Amino acid sequence: MEFSNKSTDNVLLIDGPSLTRILATHSALFFETASKAPSVICCRCLPTQKAMITERIKKISKKTVAAIGDGGNDVGMIQISSIGIGIVGKEGNHAALASDISILEFKYVKNLILWHGRNSYKRAAALSQFVIHRGLIISILQMAFSIIFYNVAIPIYNGMLMLGYATLYTSLPVFSIIFDEDVTLEKTMLYPNLYITLRKSRDLNTKTFFIWLWISIYQGVVIMVLSLVLFEQSFVRIVTITFTSLIISEILNVATTIHRLNKWIVGSQVLTLLIYALSLIFLNNYIDTSKIDKDFLWKVFAIVAVSWTPIHLAKCIIRRISPTEEDRITN
């Protein structure tokens, strides 16, 4: 049986008894034909048949399979699928309790996939790469420090500063990415093709990993080298300037990664700067606060500008020359 690739009106319809007979005699042919159909409807099926069809589709297509059900006879299908969506219905909460995601009505599936699903993927992609970058840049700083000082085996930051970097000073800005939205809910519903663009995996792939790797290397080396050039080669001074520049650069990196500012993102960045400024009172043994003056501040500004501005300009130029599909669709 052949289906037109251009038409979406063709539907393969089969009931439970017919499905039992065809699976017993021509199972491979049925699934080959069903995979070519725009839509397939299997009605009056037993719970075991639903689960079996879901399992076979996962095995043959090698793709993520979502199953949606609202009754106890859908539990097997929901549990064996890649993503189970349960609807709280008149038949009880069995499907909702057995599912990965629970919704109240079937109409919410559109919002679930096009809005929440798309946002979850894009936020997870950005967050995972930023967490990698956060660890890479401080490793590059340590490597540059050791190379410049003749491979000395001394950590540039002690345990307290490393603990603060991983928790107080970078966690809030980095994890505020989960509140980012590149397009509004209305535009997502208006342009469903925005979801289809995710299949190209442009937000998370080998290329994006190496881009963040290059950014980490560039910023780590620039911060360390410029700190030595602009300041005296005192160890405490190097720690103070590099650590301050690192924190500010990471906050600015978040600002250029997100698409839309909101109160959560701005609040996390402002709060992080306040926490860092207040914590300097308790870090006298690690950071030389007595030398923080106007000269110190403008040099920090210069280091941050050189480490961050080229990255931001490059992103703006690339986006202008080669806009993303989201930009082309929504603009």
pTM of the model: 0.81
Whether 263 shows a pLDDT value over 70: the answer reads yes
Domains of the chain (ranges; CATH) run: 11-109 (3.40.50.1000), 110-330 (no CATH)
How much of the chain exceeds pLDDT 90, in percent?
26
pLDDT of residue 156: 83
Between 130-144, 202-216, 241-255, 286-300, the lowest mean confidence (pLDDT) is in 286-300
Among the listed ranges 8-17, 197-206, 232-241, 315-324, which one has the minimum average pLDDT value? 232-241
- pLDDT at residue 4 above 60? no
pLDDT of residue 5: 52
pLDDT for 330 equals 60
Average pLDDT over residues 299-325: 87
pLDDT digits (tens, 9 = 90+) for 126-170: 999 999 999 999 999 999 888 887 777 788 888 888 888 988 898
Secondary structure, 3-state, the chain? CCCCCCCCCCEEEEEHHHHHHHHHHCHHHHHHHHHHCCEEEEECCCHHHHHHHHHHHHHHHCCCCEEEECCHHHHHHHHHCCEEEEECECCECHHHHHCCEEECCHHHHHHHHHHHHHHHHHHHHHHHHHHHHHHHHHHHHHHHHHHHCCCCCCCCCCHHHHHHHHCCCCHHHHHHHHHCCCCCHHHHHHCCHHHHHHHHCCCCCHHHHHHHHHHHHHHHHHHHHHHHHHCCCCHHHHHHHHHHHHHHHHHHHHHHHCCCCCHHHHHHHHHHHHHHHHHHHHCCCCCCHHHCCHHHHHHHHHHHHHHHHHHHHHHHHHHHHCCCHHHHHHC
Q: 13-17, 49-53, 183-187, 213-217 — which one is most confidently predicted on average?
A: 213-217
Q: Where residue 55 falls among pLDDT bands split at 50, 70, 90?
A: confident
Res. 277 pLDDT band, cuts 50 70 90: confident
State pLDDT tens for residues 168-225. 898 899 899 999 888 888 888 888 888 887 887 888 889 999 999 999 999 999 999 9
